[in-house]
């Protein structure tokens, strides 16, 4: 009988281990704030945020979300206390599509999109007539690229365009101030095909993998001021006034975290605080 009980206990422990692996959110400490983040940049930054928060008496447990799991779904369901992985337009679209009751409570960083070239041009002024310019084919990043081209005096966009409220496509281009040809492609293709165009807008993730840094190598970088694509800390609407929210944001927006971002990412990620 004892042998059977021991085997049953062993099987129960195995099952518990499998469940913990399948649902890592359940493994976080009960008294720590559970913050959903993506691996890589966010994970590294939140390691520092956690240390700063702890010095100020706040326990934080970053939860790295992998696979097809949605940090917004987990937050909306109460499996997380906050998340930090997205920019404002992405959150806006998620709320519109899925009805999440979520809200931003603090800015984190800008991961800038920029135009890069492999042909030695120093600025847009150096581009030849009929220059071929690559732009991302997804709505969010295509909007960012078109706004850069507008700001660089390459083209004009329809009046009233507000990236905070919507996206722009080639249909929103109302004229060209310089003769260019826009080539649409996925972000990963643009990063690998810079030699095939005169310049291309590449999102930070793929630019960084290619050894490119916006503030160092970009011939045109999106503006930092009033940038709707700033990344944010998000909580449920019902939690926005909880006493832990302001200390959590303050831990992120600390000088220690700012200096870590500046030194670690060398301009590929820019503090927005």
Asked if residue 244 and residue 186 are part of one domain, the reply reads no
pLDDT in tens, 187-203: 889 999 999 999 999 98
Query: Taking residues 64-92, what's their average pLDDT?
Result: 90
More confident residue, 226 or 149: 149
Q: Which of 109, 186, 108, 189 is nearest to 140 (CA)?
A: 186
Evaluate whether residue 260 is within a structural domain.
yes
Predicted confidence (pLDDT) per residue in 124-154, tens digit: 999 999 999 999 998 888 999 999 999 999 9
Total number of domains in the chain = 2
**Are residues 73 and 150 both part of a single domain?**
no
Mean local confidence (pLDDT), 11-29: 39
**pLDDT top residue among 273 and 204:** 273
DSSP class of residue 83 equals: E
Single out the residue in 200, 221, 242 at which a domain terminates.
221
- Any idea which residue has 């060209």 for tokens? 176
Is the entire prediction scored with pTM above 0.75?
Answer: no
What domain range includes position 261?
A: 33-111+229-271
Average pLDDT for 71-98: 93
CATH number of the domain encompassing residue 171: 3.40.190.10
CA distance 25 to 15: 16
Residue 52 maps to a domain: yes
């Amino acid at each position: 009988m004892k042998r059977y009980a021991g085997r049953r206990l062993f099987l129960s422990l195995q099952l518990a281990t499998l469940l913990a692996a399948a649902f890592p959110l359940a493994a976080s400490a009960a008294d720590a704030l559970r913050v959903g983040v993506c691996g890589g940049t966010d994970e590294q930054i939140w390691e520092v945020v956690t240390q700063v928060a702890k010095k100020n008496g706040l326990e934080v447990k970053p939860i790295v979300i992998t696979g097809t799991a949605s940090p917004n779904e987990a937050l909306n369901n109460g499996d997380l206390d906050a998340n930090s992985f997205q920019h404002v337009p992405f959150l806006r679209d998620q709320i519109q599509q899925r009805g999440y009751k979520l809200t931003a409570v603090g800015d984190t960083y800008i991961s800038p999109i920029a135009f890069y070239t492999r042909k030695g041009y120093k600025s847009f002024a150096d581009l030849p007539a009929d220059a071929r310019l690559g732009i991302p084919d997804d709505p969010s990043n295509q909007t960012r690229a078109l706004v850069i081209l507008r700001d660089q005096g390459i083209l004009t966009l329809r009046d009233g365009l507000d990236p905070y409220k919507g996206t722009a496509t080639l249909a929103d281009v109302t004229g060209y101030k310089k003769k260019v040809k826009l080539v649409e492609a996925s972000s990963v293709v643009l990063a690998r095909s810079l030699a095939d165009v005169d310049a291309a807008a590449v999102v930070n993730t793929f630019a960084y993998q290619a050894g490119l840094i916006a503030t160092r190598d970009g011939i045109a970088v999106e503006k930092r001021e009033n940038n709707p694509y700033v990344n944010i800390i998000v909580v449920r609407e019902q939690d926005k006034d909880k006493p832990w929210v302001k200390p959590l944001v303050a831990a992120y927006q600390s000088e220690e975290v700012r200096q870590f971002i500046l030194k670690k990412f060398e301009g590929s990620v820019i503090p927005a605080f």
